[in-house]
Amino acid sequence: MNARAGVALAWKNLFRHGRRTIITASALAFGLLVYIMADSMLRGIEVDTERNLILYETGAAQVLAEGYLEERDLRPLRYAIETPEEIESALEESGIKAVARTTFSGELIVFQDPFPEDGSVQVTGYGIDPSDDGDVYRLEETITKGRFLEPGEDGAVLGGWLAEDIGADVGYPITIVTRTRGGFFQTLELDVVGIADTPNPIINRYAVFVPIDTADFYLQMEGAVTEIAVAGKLRGVDRALTAQMEQELASFPGVDVVGWDRLAMDYVAIAQTKNSGSSTILFFVFVIAAVGVSNTVLMSILERRREIGMMRAMGLYDGEIRRLLLLEAAGIGVIGAGIGIALGAVTNYFLVTNGIDYSFWLRDMDAGYRITGVLRGVWNGDTFASAFAAGVIITVITAMMPVRRALRTTIVESLRTD
Amino acid sequence: MITITNLVRTYQTGDNEVRALRNIDLAIATGEFAAIAGPSGSGKTTLLNLIGCIDEPDEGTIEINGSVVHAGKAKERALFRRENLGFVFQSFNLVPVLTAEENIALSLSLLDMPAAERRERLRAIIDEVGLTGMEDRRPARLSGGQQQRVAVARALVKDPKLVLADEPTANLDSETGAAILDLMHELNQSHKTTFVFSTHDPMVMDRADRLITLRDGRIVDDDLRRRAS
């Protein structure tokens, strides 16, 4: 059968039972719509999380003292970079923006008056350079109350959720109990000068920022810092950047260069889990499509057994009939996938422009993602293309079995069918 | 044209063995208009299926124009059918989504043929079978007789050597059936195409040039008188 006649016949057969075709295609379309939406949101969360990690928590990469990374959760001050200025200069000479920080853990203690009640909470302290921190981080832009830090002051900026949890306000005194680099207990008496509402929940919930020279004094760091963070691209791990840093710092013994992904292993683990979640969605799309299409093709073939027998008697090869029936199945796939990605595009437009406000439960959830409020989707052409291709391929593959069954029947049996 | 030698076809239905054809020997010449008659279960359709290469014998041979037609592979038999045979079925077996013209053209779409020749053949056969003006109608909008005309046109348009028709008038009233038979006979004469058809309708038998009668899988009568006359 010539190709044109085959395509024309397959197209007409598609609409022989138009309602059935549309219902089957709709099942496929719905599955693909769910896939596109889920993928868009999960990718959106990834984009936001990586940006919020890099801009508020880790930078694009960090220089750490050897041994620090393995014990980073304990915030050990004994693994410190002794000559941060030299390293910063070396990096900045090669065009890399760098800023030093000292991170420490401590217990924040508050007392009634002015606080609503006595209590303590574990916090992460960040000694930051108020004049240079903006080269890498965006903390200053998120101050919603009070002001940003000034060098040398005994002041603190609190994460927004932390301030809310303990009832802190600008001007309130706080006490942080920690240990110095030498291991001695130390108390930092500070005044809250500002409150930062960042889009990073870890910072919002646990962070207390103090000027780095104040931290240096109380923690007896003697000019050393725990990390030097650098600016870089906001999506994905910048391997070129870390490679360049390693090259620039080859002459500095005892330091490691690590990308942000190694500083946020909790998130990386979640992101990998998400990928398997996407595969699960795709699997369910496959099941929905497979059941619907298989049923439609099977019914179509059973109804047309005599017609198929007639065409075989006329001299159509089995391969030609197989192609004809698979072309019809592909047609259902094209219609379903077309509707699916069209609906997906409309829905995704809403997700990208407006997003969905999940702030009411994100506040209470610590899922590893660095997002606090509105979840937005992203446009990803690959997802649309793969959804379309998957829809068509799934329908064709699913149709193969009933088609094979139809062609196993002899011509005489087919023609005898009532 | 058709030479059948010692043809045997046996079916297994459950535990029973049905001998549909028993040692059939038969020769049909080019251009004949032959009917195979007999009661239900006599083996008419089985014989047509075997001649039409859509079934395989258990024993014996069928030669059409010197070739043993059931000897080849399925694809070779399909190629033989598309190039040499036309089929007309009792229940028309038209494709409901195609128009009358498209149904007829379906037969030509299997052949490698210039578009102009295809159009010319279509126009001619539609005219010959009296379907002019109904080309764009789908089968649902055609009467039984008109549908069978489409089926006859579909079988003949590719100019086959042999047309096999299984009870072509069984689903038609007697007047329409007679008209279809007359049409087939005219086409047999004008195209010089061999027609072999099965029937148990006396009206159809009367119009055949040759009447081969089967009973219990055997040829019990072969009336050549009409051909002679």
Q: What is the pLDDT of residues B41-62, one digit of tens each?
A: 899 999 999 999 999 999 999 9
List residues in chain B touching A: CB distance below 8 A.
49, 52, 54-55, 74-75, 78-83, 85, 87, 89, 91, 93, 95-98, 102, 105-107, 109-110
- Looking at beta carbons, which residues of chain B come within 8 Å of A407? none
Query: Would the pLDDT of B21 be above 50?
Result: yes
Please tell me the distance in Å from A18's CA to the nearest CA on chain B.
Answer: 12
Q: What is the pLDDT of residues B115-172, one digit of tens each?
A: 899 999 999 999 988 999 999 999 999 999 999 999 999 998 998 999 999 999 888 8
| ipTM of the prediction | 0.92
pLDDT of residue A418: 59
Q: What is the pLDDT of residues B93-109, one digit of tens each?
A: 999 999 999 999 999 99
Domains in chain B (CATH in brackets) are 32-46+73-228 (3.40.50.300)
Q: CB contact, 8 Å: A415 with chain B? A: yes
- Looking at beta carbons, which residues of chain A come within 8 Å of B139? none
CB spacing of A411 vs B54 below 8 angstroms: yes
CB spacing of A1 vs B109 below 8 angstroms: yes
DSSP string of A210-276, one letter each residue:
EEHHHHHHHHT-TT-BSEEEE---SSS--HHHHHHHHHHTTTSTTEEEEEHHHH-HHHHHHHHHHHH
pLDDT by residue for chain A (418 residues), tens digit each? 778 888 888 888 888 888 888 888 888 898 889 889 888 988 888 888 899 999 999 999 999 999 999 988 889 999 999 999 999 999 999 999 999 999 999 999 988 888 888 889 999 999 999 999 999 999 999 999 999 999 999 999 999 999 999 999 999 999 999 999 999 999 999 999 999 999 898 899 999 999 999 999 999 999 999 999 999 998 888 889 999 999 989 999 899 999 988 888 877 787 777 777 777 877 877 787 778 778 887 888 888 888 899 999 999 999 999 999 899 889 989 999 999 999 999 999 999 998 887 766 666 666 667 777 678 888 999 989 998 998 899 889 888 888 888 888 899 988 886 5
User: Which amino acid type is present at position A392?
Assistant: V
Q: CB contact, 8 Å: A303 with chain B? A: no
Query: Would the pLDDT of B229 be above 60?
Result: no
Average pLDDT of span B174-184: 87
Show Cβ contacts of residue A375 under 8 Å, excluding neighbours closer than 6 positions. Answer: A41, A44, A45, A48, A355, A356, A357, A358
What residue of B is the nearest CA neighbor of A414?
Answer: B54
CB-closest option in B49, B93, B105 to A310: B93
Mutate to test the interface with A, among B9, B11, B13, B49 (most CBs of A within 10 A): B49
pLDDT of residue B170: 85
- Looking at beta carbons, which residues of chain B come within 8 Å of A411? 54-55
Please tell me the distance in Å from B100's CA to the nearest CA on chain A.
Answer: 13
Mutate to test the interface with A, among B106, B112, B117, B171 (most CBs of A within 10 A): B106
- Cβ–Cβ < 8 Å for B224, B50: no
Mutate to test the interface with B, among A20, A413, A415, A418 (most CBs of B within 10 A): A415
What is the CA angle A63-A57-A212, rounded to 5? 70
